[in-house]
A and B are shown apart, each in its own frame.
Chain A
């Protein structure tokens, strides 16, 4: 067991024939991910096997629409690499094609476009789950990697990791692996103000997953995602949880790289988040170098 993706997940790549899409689709396939198709409007019907820099191990069929890849190849996950002006359109296309798990890597999507996507996801009868945008993706080590994270730092195991930040996720996964443990699934939910899956939904999935024995939650300034997850964990989760919150030194009113990482007034500050997490009995790592060690401490390992 794991959450969201496993060895049977059938992935279609939106933006496959672009530079970024090609590079990462190749990396994912070499990891063992079942890439069953790519979507590039106008190139449907061709078999694609890479560009002058990257050669796939085997050619991948290209479709004009995501719906075609679902009906012809049974795709049940879609990873999106298309540029920001077109990314929300791709997400909506995947939702309408009935794709269960949509993972959007693209950074820089207009907030208004994401508000429309969110309204669509909230509609009754919508079966899709969106991860991201502006995220590294999802990996179930040893089975399936959908995203841009370096494969080497992950090991199969029982720690569920959820994070708003890409490189901090790598930091946490690497520490867990180096301490002799591994990850059930690692989810990057992204640092945008409006995204598909919240911190709360991610920890709920980990709580329900029998393979996941312990949880790491990595947050940052902006919004109140972390506090909501913490309140829920306090009342519903018996698994050990460790956390880290980035941005203690971030100045007020400035956007720290991620579109969503901003302290407005008194709300969204790291201090406020850390205090709430601690009140909920969650151990917060004092530095980003001690995330792994902090988890082992609460885990009793």
Chain B
């Protein structure tokens, strides 16, 4: 789960990480008060969306920049131009995202910028702190072009970050001087505590800045969480912004379905994540374009299958559906009954449907489909199924 920058900064502050003072506003009427609560001659006006590249983003009406450094008397006007507007960045795709919250922060003088993040390293199973003096840059680019400018410190999750590791990072970033070391230690300890205690999958500060007054401040904040651990963090769940998620994906989650919307026109329903990906791949391999990823899992009920089928039909791009089931725990007859119920529920099927069933209770499943009177093309194996749906849809 992702959260907004202003929410991440709130968490930072709770964990003793220095941030610039800020105020979030969700309505134009709150703008004046938000700006008034801040000090200084300049205010940073920041669009809040769940995507990076905001600074270089462009709004649909041509207004440039999702983040502005403004004189305080101009801040409200700029915020009004952003609010309710659609911001397109290189991470949002062409559709862009509507800005529904504006975050105002006090402007900071910057002496130097840095990069700092904490993630899980899959290979070692350890936490890793990634630091660089190349702040404000895309870290993947730095890693590729100048790997020597990046420092990685691996942390045993059982013991947590140790003082010598903090010193190692401090010296690398040039925070060796005693007072700076102290400030940096407080910051990294806070970030690590947040990361570990709230089951974060990412804590990223880019840029981290040093001010001319020798303060170390998190100028930006990006935090995301392990979905599997949200059950033990009801406070974090409060930060969830449903308007940032695809409505079809939200609907799918209610039925414990794994659904991801894509841009193609052949919808697919599959059991198992690997097979679901492989089904998308094979559609593409035979010249088609998958409309979605959908893993109905092993424990789906007839109602969930019905809901899944309706989600596929509600995607306007869908020109045909491929159902590919290899029954293990998932029984083919449950799938078949769910599909038949869904078709009845929506008043008949108007687009072609290719079905390939295999595994547990395949005979009963095929029988239910055959007796349903629905126009279904059956397939003998996955190759056959993919070729048939691609051929029918491309006609």
CB-CB < 8 A to B122: which residues of A? 193-194, 222-223, 260
Whether A85 contacts B140 in the complex (CB less than 8 A), given A249-B281, A288-B278, comes out as no
Binary interface profile of A, 32-59, with partner B (CB < 8 Å = 1, else 0)?
A: 0000000000000000000000000000
Verify if B254 is at the interface (C-beta below 8 Å from A): no
**A102→B140 CA distance, assembly (Å):** 37
Verify if A115 is at the interface (C-beta below 8 Å from B): yes
**A84→B228 CA distance, assembly (Å):** 8
Interchain nearest-CB distance for B322 vs A (Å): 13
Verify if A296 is at the interface (C-beta below 8 Å from B): no
Whether A168 contacts B272 in the complex (CB less than 8 A), given A110-B229, A256-B260, comes out as yes
Verify if B258 is at the interface (C-beta below 8 Å from A): yes
Interface residues in A, total, Cβ within 8 A: 60
Verify if B383 is at the interface (C-beta below 8 Å from A): yes
Of B105-113, B282-290, B310-318, the one touching chain A: B282-290
Whether A165 and B272, one on each chain, are in contact in the complex, defined by CB atoms closer than 8 angstroms, is: yes
Whether B280 and A287, one on each chain, are in contact in the complex, defined by CB atoms closer than 8 angstroms, is: no
The count of A-to-B residue pairs whose CB atoms sit within 8 angstroms is 172
Whether A287 contacts B281 in the complex (CB less than 8 A), given A116-B158, A256-B276, comes out as yes
CB-CB < 8 A to A221: which residues of B? 277
Verify if A246 is at the interface (C-beta below 8 Å from B): yes
Whether B229 and A112, one on each chain, are in contact in the complex, defined by CB atoms closer than 8 angstroms, is: yes
Q: Which of A119, A167, A256, A266 contacts B328 (CB 8 A)?
A: A167
**A26→B373 CA distance, assembly (Å):** 37
Interchain nearest-CB distance for A124 vs B (Å): 14
Verify if A218 is at the interface (C-beta below 8 Å from B): yes
Verify if B370 is at the interface (C-beta below 8 Å from A): no
Whether A244 and B260, one on each chain, are in contact in the complex, defined by CB atoms closer than 8 angstroms, is: no
Q: Which of A250, A251, A260, A289 contacts B382 (CB 8 A)?
A: A289
Whether A167 and B280, one on each chain, are in contact in the complex, defined by CB atoms closer than 8 angstroms, is: no
Interchain nearest-CB distance for A132 vs B (Å): 14
**A244→B382 CA distance, assembly (Å):** 14
CB-CB < 8 A to A163: which residues of B? 274
Whether A247 and B196, one on each chain, are in contact in the complex, defined by CB atoms closer than 8 angstroms, is: no
Main secondary structure of the interface of B (DSSP, over half): mixed
**A114→B199 CA distance, assembly (Å):** 12
Binary interface profile of A, 190-219, with partner B (CB < 8 Å = 1, else 0)?
A: 010110000000000000000000000010
CB-CB < 8 A to B374: which residues of A? none
CB-CB < 8 A to A108: which residues of B? 228
Q: Which of A150, A191, A218, A286 contacts B273 (CB 8 A)?
A: A191
Whether A220 and B231, one on each chain, are in contact in the complex, defined by CB atoms closer than 8 angstroms, is: no
**CB closest chain-A residue, reference B325:** A167
Verify if B351 is at the interface (C-beta below 8 Å from A): no
Whether A191 contacts B229 in the complex (CB less than 8 A), given A115-B157, A287-B386, comes out as no
**CB closest chain-A residue, reference B283:** A249
Whether B140 and A287, one on each chain, are in contact in the complex, defined by CB atoms closer than 8 angstroms, is: no
Verify if A99 is at the interface (C-beta below 8 Å from B): no
Q: Which of B199, B229, B281 contacts A288 (CB 8 A)?
A: B281
Chain A to chain B contacts (Cβ below 8 Å), 28 pairs: A111-B228, A112-B199, A112-B226, A119-B157, A119-B158, A122-B125, A164-B274, A165-B277, A167-B272, A167-B274, A168-B272, A170-B328, A171-B278, A171-B326, A174-B359, A194-B120, A194-B125, A220-B273, A246-B278, A249-B262, A257-B258, A257-B295, A258-B273, A259-B227, A260-B122, A287-B281, A288-B275, A289-B384
**Known interface pairs A115-B157, A166-B274, A223-B123; 9 further A-B residue pairs with C-beta atoms within 8 A, sorted by A's residue number:** A110-B229, A111-B229, A168-B275, A193-B122, A220-B273, A224-B123, A261-B273, A287-B281, A289-B384
